[in-house]
Amino acid sequence: MLDIYKEIVRIRESGQKAALASIISRRGSTPRKESAKMLIRSDGSIVGSIGGGCVEAQVWEEAKNVMKEGKSKVLHFDLTSEEIAMDGLVCGGKMDILVEPILPVPTVFIFGAGHISLPLSKIAKIAGFRVVVIDDRESFANKERFPEADEIIVEGFDSVFSILKINDSSYLVIVTRGHLSDEKVLEQCIKTKAGYVGMIGSKRKIRTIYSNLKFRGASQEDLEKVYSPIGIPIKAETPEEIAVSIMAEIIKVKQDAK
C-alpha cells in the first residue's frame, strides 16, 4: 500500500494540492479507530481509508472545499441506525474527523545571483520558504555562495522556465544583473500562476520595460500584478535592507492570500 506520508511529501514538492482526513475522536462502535487517515488528491483519487460508506463520501466532498479554501475543518458524524441501514454498515457511534489542506511548499525563486540575492536567500530560508536561485553564471550561482538554498539552477533566463514548477505558492523575485535580462524574465513570469512577481528597478527602468512588453503583447492587467519597485517602502539602501523589504512584502502577500 502507498505510504500516505511519502505521498504527502511528493504532492507538496510537485506543487499540487490535497486534503488529509484523520479520525480524531470516536465514541461507540465505528468502522475505524482514532488516527485512521485518508488522503484525498486534487483529482479525487484517495489513499487510505477512514471507514467507507457515507462517512468517506461526505469527507471526500468536503475535502474539495478544504483544498480550495486552504483551511482545516472538523466534521462530526453520528452513525445512527438509519444511516447504518442505508449504507449497510454494521456499526454505530459517533466520529469527529479533521480534514486538513495539503498545500504546495511555498517557494521563493530568485532570478539573479548577485549582491541582493545573497541576503535574500538567507532571509527567505529563515522565514520558512524553499529557496531556488537561478542564474546563467556558475561562478555566481553555486553552493559556496548560497549554502542555504534548496536548489541552484545554472541556466539561461530564456530557457529556464521550461524546467521550473511554478504555482500559486511560488514567489518570483527578479534581481538579475541588467535591464535586458530583467525584461526577459518578467515577460515569462507574468505568464505563470505565481502568487507573487516582483522586479527591482527605478521607475524609469520599469516604464521602459513595461512599454517594451506591451509592444510585444503583454496586457496592462498582467503588468499591474507585478510588484515593482519591489519591496515594502522602508527607505532601504544596502543589499541587506533591500532583502528585508522584499521578504516583508512576500510574507504580507502570502498572509493576505489566506
Which residue segments constitute the domains of the chain, with CATH numbers given?
4-102 (no CATH), 107-256 (3.40.50.720)
Q: In sequence order, what are the residues at sequence separation of 6 or more whose Cβ sits closer than 8 angstroms to the Cβ of residue 115? A: 239
Average pLDDT over residues 173-197: 96
In Å, what is the CA distance from 201 to each residue of 49, 87, 195?
52, 63, 20
Least trusted range by pLDDT, from 31-40, 82-91, 210-219? 82-91
Q: Is-above-0.85 flag for pTM?
A: no
pLDDT of residue 181: 96
For residues 16 and 221, give the distance between their C-alpha atoms in angstroms, rounded to a whole number.
26
Average pLDDT over residues 141-158: 97
- In 3D, which of 150, 194, 149 has the Cα closest to residue 171? 194
- Residue 171's pLDDT band, with cuts at 50, 70 and 90, is very high
User: What tens digit of pLDDT does each residue of 44-55 get?
Assistant: 999 998 876 778
pLDDT of residue 91: 55
pLDDT of residue 26: 82
pLDDT of residue 70: 87
Average pLDDT over residues 7-19: 90
Question: What order do you get walking across the sheet with 94-102 strand by strand?
Answer: 46-48, 37-41, 18-27, 94-102, 73-78
Q: In sequence order, what are the residues at sequence separation of 6 or more whose Cβ sits closer than 8 angstroms to the Cβ of residue 165? A: 14, 15
What's the mean pLDDT when you consider all of the chain?
90
- Give the DSSP per-residue string, 41-57: ETTS-EEE-S--HHHHH
Residue pair 132/150 in contact (Cβ under 8 Å)? The answer is yes
| Higher per-residue confidence, 46 vs 94 | 46
Q: Reply yes or no on whether the pLDDT at 84 is more than 80.
A: no
Q: How far apart are the first and last CA of the chain?
A: 34
pLDDT of residue 78: 79
pLDDT of residue 243: 98
Q: Reply yes or no on whether the pLDDT at 67 is more than 80.
A: yes
User: What tens digit of pLDDT does each residue of 100-136 get?
Assistant: 999 988 999 999 999 999 999 999 999 999 999 999 9
Q: In sequence order, what are the residues at sequence separation of 6 or more whose Cβ sits closer than 8 angstroms to the Cβ of residue 237? A: none
pLDDT of residue 31: 62
For residues 181 and 114, give the distance between their C-alpha atoms in angstroms, rounded to a whole number.
13
